[in-house]
Every structure is written in C-alpha cells, then in structure tokens.
Amino acid sequence: MELRPYQKQLITNAKRALARGKRRLCIVLSCGGGKSVIAANIAKMAISKGNSVLFLVHRIELCNQIRDTFSACGVNMNYCEIGMVQTLTRRTGQVKLSEPDLIITDEFHHGTAASYRNIYETYPNAVLIGFTATPIRMGRGGLGAVCDELITSVSTKWLIENNYLSPCKYYSAPLADLSDLKVKRGEYDAARMAAILENRAVYGETIKNYRRIADGKKTIVYTVSVESARQTAELFRHSGYTAAALSGATPKDERARVMRDFRENKITVLCNCQLFGEGLDISDVECVVLLRKTKSLTLFIQQSMRSMRYKPGKTAIIIDHVGNIFEHGFPQDDRAWSLDVKKEEKKNSDEGRAGRGGGPIYTNLGILANNRPSNLVQYLSV
C-alpha cells in the first residue's frame, strides 16, 4: 500500500518528535484518512530495527481488519502482537512477545481509561504512539495525561476536496422531543432516551425517511439500546429490506457471521447498539442513521463519518433523527485540538437538561445539505 503524501508527512513529523525526546505521541487524522496504513508502516520500520510492537484495539471485529492491513503492508507479524485491551488488561505483563518496545494504540481517545493506562504503566520503557480522529475524552478534555506531543494533519474538508473522503449530505429530521432529557455523568440519560425512542411511531418514521432519502443504500443505524436495535431491524425487514441487529451482547460467532454478510452485501441495513462507531472500514457504506443523542463530540464524529469512506462517485448520506448536529455542528467542520486536560468542575455541573453544557447549539434547520446556511443559524443562550 503506497503512502499518500500527507501520510508520509505524518510519519516524518512523528520521527522528528521522537528525535526531540518525545516518548508518547498522539497522531490525529480524520476518520477514513488511512491511520491503519500509517500505523502499519511505523510498525514495519520499528520491527526492521529489531524492536517488537504491541498494537491495541478495543473491538474484536478490528483485530482481523488490522491484521490484514499490517500483512498487506509487509509487517513481520512474528514481532507484532495485535490484542484487545479488555483481554490484555486481564493478563497484564503476559503479552505473547517479550516486553514491547513500541505500543501503538488504535482509537487513542480511549487512552486515558484505566484499562489502557494499566497496560502503559506495565511497560514504562515502551514508546507510545496513538492514533485518533478526535483527541479528546468526554468531560476530560485533551489527552495530556497520557501523551506529550500532538501531531495533526490535513483537515476533513481537505480530504474531501482531494478525493480521499466522500462528500456528504446531512439531513436533520428529529422524531421525538428530547429537550427535557437529563444529563448524568456527562452523557444523556440512556434509559430515559430509550424509553422515548423505543416507539413504533419513531421506528415507522425512521423507515419512511430512509425510503425517501436513501432507499436501498448500504446503511449503518446507531441506536440507543439493544431493544431499539432489534426492533428497528425487524421493521426494516418487514418493510422489504435485508437487515440485522448487533450489540455487545451478540455471541461472537453470530457477530462474525452478520459482519461477513454485511461486507458481502447480503445485508443492506445493519442496526447496532454501542458497536461500529470506531475503526470499521467498509468503503461501500453509503448512509448512517443516528438514533442516539450524545454529548460526546468524539462519538458523534466517529458514527456520522462511517459513511464517508471514499468510493468514486459516492455522496454519503447522514440522517440525524436526534438533533446531534445542533450540538456538535457538521462532522467535517474544522476543529482545534489540544492536549489540555479539562479542569475539575463542580459536582452538579454535569447534571442538566438537553442542550446545556455543550456550548452553542443551533436552531432546527430541517433538512441540511453540505454546508450550513449562514443566514439560518442562530446561536441560542445556554
């Protein structure tokens, strides 16, 4: 896999940071920008100099995907272990290889979690390089607690303009009143949200809008609960579409079978709860449907951009039924990142109602396409 110019520049910048004595790097690149290929080339270079590499992922579905990319890039897998954080943290200090010289972390915005830090602290002499499109953790700010250098690259808009990502059309069609939804520990109350959205009328309108906007296009639907994923998939099937539902509770073999069928286009609509928001690389996904409201900018960007992997002639479709755009803006908006860790707030600061505590929000614009019409935007007092 030949590296693109901006990918080569990121590797060069990482080398320069290491030469300056930095030991924990965070490389930032948009979803679909090719982070796995960059990681593979860094691993290959490290191994060629006699080092061993540990690559951390957080979803079982990503292990084979990463292994295939590494193999295609010529990485000697005898000196590279790919492992799930959840597994390795249970047997810390017992990786198959000897103590790793380099730890590469996929979706590094999770890196401040205790499970990740436990692994990092077990191998304090290892160089740490993490990759993410969104170097923040909800409620905690930047990743300065686990890295000492932020290496940024080209913007999402630049990737779209240069045919590395597909352009998108964004449709906002709220289906339920979530304005009184409370915030608990920094995120919207999932149980209350499920009670509102697990509704036949919501499911029916979801199908109606899909048929009108993205009929028959390969689609990932993000739901708030396992039950809503199941019922949404069921109604899609009753409406004549091939659909399936997956969640973290789905048995491993069934998850693998459904994902294989989805990749092979035997399934058109994949409904899921808390899966496939990160790292999933299926270039022919054309549409995502958002049925979970979130305070997390990271989750919003990761989910909404699953349909923007590049494919010639494709225009991605994002159907937002919960108003996430009014809190976070468009996924391709330019954003300034920082390593700064968020200061502790008062205990009651993360309790509130929908629309509070997240910065400016936007009025409901109805259907949005490509660029937000500036004459319609009104910033509300929050």
Question: Is the pLDDT score of 215 beyond 60?
Answer: yes
Q: Is the dihedral of CA 74, 78, 83, 88 positive or negative?
A: negative
Helix (H, G, I), strand (E, B) or coil at 211: helix
**Distance from C-alpha of 259 to C-alpha of 281, rounded to nearest angstrom:** 12
How high is the pLDDT of residue 360? 30
- 127 burial (CB, 10 Å; 0-12 / 13-18 / 19+) is buried
Q: What local confidence, expressed as pLDDT, does residue 95 receive?
A: 63
Residue 136 is predicted with a pLDDT of 84
Alpha carbon 179 to its chain's center: 25
Those residues whose C-beta lies under 8 Å from the C-beta of residue 75, and which sit 6 or more positions away, are: 40, 43, 44, 47, 53
Stretch 161-182: mean pLDDT: 93
> How far is residue 234's CA from residue 240's CA, in Å, rounded to a whole number?
10
pLDDT tens by residue, 252-272: 889 889 989 999 999 999 999
Question: CA separation (Å) from 161 to 74, 166, 192, 277, 335?
Answer: 30, 9, 40, 24, 17
DSSP secondary-structure letter at 184? E
Closest among 233, 327, 278, 330 to 134, alpha carbons compared = 278
Percent of the chain with pLDDT over 90: 63
**Side chain identity at 370, as an amino acid letter?**
N
pLDDT in tens, 79-103: 999 988 888 877 665 666 568 999 9
Domains and CATH numbers, the chain: 5-154 (3.40.50.300), 168-376 (3.40.50.300)
At 124 the pLDDT is 92
- Residue 284 CA to residue 319 CA, distance in Å, equals 17
Residues contacting residue 328 through CB under 8 Å, at least 6 positions apart: 297, 300, 301, 358
Instruction: Please give the model's pTM, rounded to 2 decimal places.
Output: 0.84
- In percent, the amount of the chain with pLDDT more than 70 equals 85
Assign 178 a pLDDT band (cuts: 50, 70, 90).
very high
